[in-house]
Amino acid sequence: MKGLRVLVLAMVLALGFSIAGAYAEEKKEEASPVTGSASVAVLNKYIFRGYELSSHSFVTQPSISVSYKGFSASLWSNIDSNVNGTQSVSNANYLSNQGKKDLNETDLTLSYTYAIDKLSLTGGYIYYGTDYTAETDEVFVTIAYDTILKPVLSVYRDINEYGGTYFNLSIAHSVPVYKEMTLDLGASAGYFAGSDNYWKTYESSTGAYTGKKYSGFHDGMVKAGFTIPIAKNVSIQPMVQYWFPLSNKAKKSVDGNSYNPNGKLDDTLVTGINFTLSF
């Protein structure tokens, strides 16, 4: 069923690209309102909000997106070269594929952005098509301000399997290095508040997840990389990220079990390269 849903979503987005392309061709003498990008990232790990979702492998993450007058749609996937369990990936059915290559996630994001001078307000929906855990859905809002550090505050709310709210504040700054090459720096911090019983924490007295619901400062990340143009509308971005837990709760273990039901967070280094085509 998941594969069928993802196929339908992909077909819908592909149709959108066809329509957008036709519209852009008709309007080729004018500045096209249709923009988009296609990219492929190759990384040593897949980290999502601090959770380690791959181990002893590399991941390939293709994505494609299109925007028209504030409306955007994108598809993103994760391909793990060698399936292994982690403290955040323990699904027995999924781990029956251990040692194999697997396309284990495809996400669809739909959003709308409204800009007021330097302020941008975005609202949207994300469908997570995952193999290693139950599929779920989120809605989100984002506030961004176009100034020197480009601060962005995002709030995500799970409306399906894992009721909870995730807050993330990020900053970023690019410094010209040589011609059109830039040094790109950034950092982010996340706070999570679980609201349904899935997020009950581990208690030593019961030997199970029966404690209060997990909440607290969650993940931090700092990153650096370069954007290097190699052709018209084509660039590569070598990068490095350092992820770390922001609180004792985020990294806590109880009797050898993660306090957080989704798995504890570790200090983790991510390296890789991204290839991007803009249109």
CATH of domain 2-278: 2.40.160.40
Maximum CA extent, the chain: 71
Q: What is the CA radius of gyration of the chain?
A: 20
Provide the token pair at 61: 């993450």
What end-to-end distance do the CA atoms of the chain give, in Å? 33
Other CB atoms within 10 A of residue 115 CB: 12
pTM (global) more than 0.85:
yes
Other CB atoms within 10 A of residue 184 CB: 16
Cα–Cα distance list, 200 to 44, 77, 151 (Å): 31, 29, 32
Per-residue pLDDT of the chain (279 residues; tens, 9 = 90+): 454 445 445 544 554 445 445 444 544 445 678 999 999 999 999 999 999 999 999 999 999 999 999 999 999 999 999 999 999 999 999 999 999 999 999 999 999 999 999 999 999 999 999 999 999 999 999 999 999 999 999 999 999 999 999 999 999 999 999 999 999 999 999 999 999 999 999 999 999 999 999 999 999 999 999 999 999 999 999 999 999 999 999 999 999 999 999 999 999 999 999 999 999
Contact between 279 and 36 under an 8 Å Cβ cutoff? The reply is yes
Q: Which are the contacts of 107, defined by CB distance < 8 A and separation ≥ 6?
A: 75, 76, 77, 126, 127, 128, 129
Q: What is the pLDDT of residue 29?
A: 46
Q: What is the pLDDT of residue 265?
A: 98
- Taking the C-alpha atoms of residue 47 and residue 221, their distance in angstroms, rounded to an integer, is 10
Q: What is the pLDDT of residue 32?
A: 73
- Residue appearing with tokens 């030997």: 207
